[in-house]
Amino acid sequence: METVGLTALVRKVGTKGHLRNLRQNGQLPGILYGAEINGLPIQLPAKELERIVASRTGLNTLIRLQVEGEGRTTPMVMIKQVQRDPIGGKLTHVDLHQISLREKLHTDVPVILAGTPEGVNEGGILQAGIRTVEVECLPTGIPDNLPLDVSGMAIGDKLTAADLKTPEGVRVTTDPDTLLASVVPPRVEEEPAIAPEVAEPEPAEGKREETGE
């Protein structure tokens, strides 16, 4: 898997105003965790982080992180979590986690539905289940995605996590019964119910009052 290089600075813990100034100057506050690092505050170039998150490998990108100001180099890290501004959508914080290339880890990988189901050609509707599954593998073996061939599905068929085919060394740890795709019958629009015609009652004949002359 391709790796990218990134340089971080040790960050002084400050007030909200200090963090706001960092972001305005193009820096993203973050925390670095690891076996030998217990929550080190850092700051990184926001644009570079955005580019990594938006890349093909996304949060599973392997990053060679150089930490300046500490006299140390972290061999490899991955993005553990990101926070975004709920209004503008910009990154506001990132957690990085030190990893070992020789130890397996758990991470989420996207599922890509490939092909057009036979059932769809017959009028059925393809419905997707969950979009990502958790896998266990070495960091260098993380797949970009896991394709799921749906072309042979007929109306009424379902595919689950157990149907995924994975590369060697990759194991899906999501529940095997988790639904990934199904083909359901076409929706039939019900015709509006027509109210039965009700005969209008004939006007009742009034009693005539007989009068004598």
Q: Residue 171: which CATH number?
A: 2.170.120.20
Average the pLDDT over 116-127 and give the result. Answer: 95
Among 98, 116, 144, where does a domain finish? 98
Of all residues in the chain, what percent carry a pLDDT higher than 90? Answer: 70
Confidence of residue 213 (pLDDT cuts 50, 70, 90): very low
In a domain, 191, yes or no: no
Determine, yes or no, domain membership for 204.
Answer: no
pLDDT of residue 187: 77
Q: Residue 81: which CATH number?
A: 2.40.240.10
**Which of 45, 74, 98 corresponds to the end of one domain?**
98
**Mean of pLDDT values over 172-195:** 85
Confidence bin at 77 (pLDDT 50/70/90): very high
pLDDT of residue 175 exceeding 50, the answer is yes
Asked if residue 38 belongs to a domain, the reply is yes
Whether residues 109 and 77 fall in one domain: no
Q: Would the pLDDT of 172 be above 50?
A: yes
- The boundaries of the domain holding residue 52 are 3-98
Q: State the Cα–Cα distance between residues 7 and 19, nearest whole angstrom.
A: 19
Q: What pTM does this model have?
A: 0.77
The answer, yes or no, to whether residue 166 has pLDDT greater than 80, is: yes
Residue 203 lies in a domain: no
- Whether residues 68 and 86 fall in one domain: yes
26 lies in some domain: yes
Of 196 and 62, which is predicted with more confidence? Answer: 62
Q: Which one is predicted more confidently, 30 or 19?
A: 30
Average pLDDT, the chain: 87
Considering the domain architecture, whether residues 90 and 9 belong to the same structural domain is answered as yes
Within a domain: 198:
no
Final residue in a domain of this structure, among 81, 98, 115: 98
